[in-house]
Amino acid sequence: MAMSLAGKKIAILATDGFEQAELMDPRTALDHAGATTEVIAPKTGEIMGWDMKDWGDSVEVDRTLDQAKAQDYDALVLPGGVMNPDYLRMDPKAVNFVKEFVATGKPVAAICHGPWTLIEAGVVKGKTLTSWPSLKTDLKNAGANWVDKEVVTDGQFISSRKPDDLPAFNNAIIEAVGSGMRMKRAS
């Protein structure tokens, strides 16, 4: 029997240029598991996805960063794409939301270029993560241990490399949220 995430609320932080599969696929998997997902973005309205080599579909923004509170969610998903995390890491409200969420000890899942926002938030030191290969040096310079694996779970952090890893990434998120995973806050 599949794990039920009924009553769980998941934040998906994204903006224009998110890799379409890396937002839509986890959202669908989490919704099917019974969770409520909310897309959080710096702006209201819709954000436009990037589908491999061109613009893709847009998704409705459920809450802006001004409206969202980290403590209201059971997990945070950070989709990749190159543009999306590059914009988010330059947005002080997005970086602050990530810092506040990490402080809750609840699961944080980042795929592809998604860890850029974690690096900017200063929360990867001493953690083992994976990512799109071009982030290897960025993660190492931020004090993380980078590995080339389909999915890596280290404490509250779940990371994957690319869209091909989505099945393992989605399963790891569902397992972490379903088990009520919560790490002790670092001192």
**pLDDT tens, residue by residue, 79-129:** 999 999 999 999 999 999 999 999 999 999 999 999 999 999 999 999 999
Q: Is the pLDDT of residue 184 over 50?
A: no
Q: How far apart are CA 173 and CA 73, in angstroms?
A: 13
Q: How far apart are CA 62 and CA 76, in angstroms?
A: 14
Q: Is the pLDDT of residue 182 over 90?
A: no
Of 34, 83, 58, 75, the C-alpha closest to 182 is 75
Q: What is the pLDDT of residue 175?
A: 95
- Over residues 59-88, the pLDDT tens digits come to 999 999 999 999 999 999 999 999 999 999
- Over residues 8-52, the pLDDT tens digits come to 999 999 999 999 999 999 999 999 999 999 999 999 999 999 999
The H-or-E segment that residue 29 falls in is: helix 20-32
Tokens for 1, please give them: 């029997």
Which architecture does CATH list for 9-178?
3-Layer(aba) Sandwich (3.40)
Domain boundaries along the sequence of the chain: 9-178
Q: What is the pLDDT of residue 26?
A: 98
Residue 114 known to be catalytic = no
Q: What is the pLDDT of residue 180?
A: 80
List 21, 59, 110, 112, catalytic entry: 112
Q: What is the pLDDT of residue 3?
A: 75
Q: What is the pLDDT of residue 70?
A: 97
State the pTM of this model.
0.95
Tokens for 59, please give them: 């998704």
